Amino acid sequence: MKLIKNNLSEKLIINKYFKKLNLKKRGTFNFENDGAYLDLNNKNYKLTVTTDSISEDIDFLSNDDPTSIAQKITTVNLSDIFAMGALPHSYLLNLHLPNHINENWLNSFSHRLKKIQSKYGFYLLGGDLSKSNKLIVSSTFFGFIKKKLEIYQNKFNLNDDILITGNIGESKIGLEILKKKLLSNTNLKQYFIKKYLYPRPCKLGPLIAHHVNSMKDISDGLIGDLTDMLNDKYGALINVNKIPLSVKTKKILNIKKNYRIENLINAGDDYGLIIISNQKNRNKILSIANKNNIRISCIGKIINEKGIHFDSYLDIKNIKKFDHFC
């Protein structure tokens, strides 16, 4: 039996905290094999795969609540699955655990995973545990998409709509409040901190997949991710007034005069979707979003002139791009 210094064995961790997440699916071998299998058994679907990691001191702080870390690792991956127009199916977890991780931590972490699994309908297929001096959580997610569906992040046409879901910048405001770079009253404070600690993926992707040309989740900021999507052929014209901000964010912008929309359009961890689609599909997409109570905004269109352009002046030259890798 494998022991780590605080007397938690690998077997105990797996049996007590993670076996409940495999939902007794046959292909998991109840975590008693080194591998697992996926029996797709459906000729109309193919399997999507995405993998993402989050690390202590980069994507979260060491004393962040384990429920927040569980929420983040699933959201970063689920939002990629949804952006591909897929539905989540199962996932693998690679946990690199420092010595201070104890049973309370594992209990909260796995309990939150179970809750998220139930919400979106997927299960834990397997994983790997190792020791580390910093906490790193990697995950690989599997999803299903219709056989013929293939959503590139950079294939679209002139005059296509640019739409985004959700609100921009709330997670960034939460992080700046936590870092004490931004002060606020107690109510607003709790609201924004929750947005940062518990980001949600946008499940609209698979519902509109047949009506879009490209989709991507906003993980590195609206401008950063839109720049990634724009190929060498086209640019984007953004209608600044249409960039969606919550009432509470507008309140912050009103109170803090040196804090402006420029600070928010390149903030990371929004996890809404950027959707690029033919104008003729606009009403269909808006209506599906509305039926599902998902805020959606048409913020601009694809133009000939390369780069990102705004219909009113924004002082963006001094904005540093959000960067997970820096």
Which parts of this chain interact with a second copy (CB under 8 A)? 2-4, 10, 27, 29, 32-40, 43, 46-53, 55, 58, 80-81, 83-84, 86, 92, 94, 96, 125-134, 136, 138, 140, 145, 147, 150-154, 216-217, 219, 321, 323-326
* Nearer to a second copy (CB atom), residue 77 or residue 281: 77
Q: At what angle do helices 186-197 and 247-255 cross, to 10 degrees?
A: 120
Rounded to 5°, angle at Cα 216 from 212 and 217: 130
**C-beta of 86: minimal distance to a second copy in Å?**
8
* Nearer to a second copy (CB atom), residue 48 or residue 249: 48
**C-beta of 307: minimal distance to a second copy in Å?**
14
Give the residue from 142, 148, 147 showing the smallest Cα distance to 39: 142
d(CA 224, CA 288): 27
* Nearer to a second copy (CB atom), residue 188 or residue 273: 273
**C-beta of 208: minimal distance to a second copy in Å?**
17
Tracing tokens 């690679």 back to the chain, one arrives at: 94
Give the residue from 103, 98, 81, 99 showing the smallest Cα distance to 90: 81
d(CA 267, CA 251): 18
**C-beta of 291: minimal distance to a second copy in Å?**
26
Tokens describing residue 45: 């679907």
Rounded to 5°, angle at Cα 105 from 104 and 109: 120
* Nearer to a second copy (CB atom), residue 193 or residue 276: 276
**C-beta of 182: minimal distance to a second copy in Å?**
25
Backbone region of residue 291 per phi and psi (left: phi > 0; alpha: psi in -120 to 50; beta: other values): alpha
**C-beta of 215: minimal distance to a second copy in Å?**
10
* Nearer to a second copy (CB atom), residue 137 or residue 252: 137
* Nearer to a second copy (CB atom), residue 280 or residue 320: 320
Tracing tokens 């605080």 back to the chain, one arrives at: 6
**C-beta of 31: minimal distance to a second copy in Å?**
11
**C-beta of 205: minimal distance to a second copy in Å?**
11
Amino acid identity of residue 67, one-letter, is T
CA dihedral 297, 301, 302, 307 (to 10 degrees): -90
Tokens describing residue 221: 């900021």
* Nearer to a second copy (CB atom), residue 219 or residue 263: 219
* Nearer to a second copy (CB atom), residue 95 or residue 173: 95
d(CA 165, CA 109): 28
Give the residue from 243, 93, 72 showing the smallest Cα distance to 174: 72
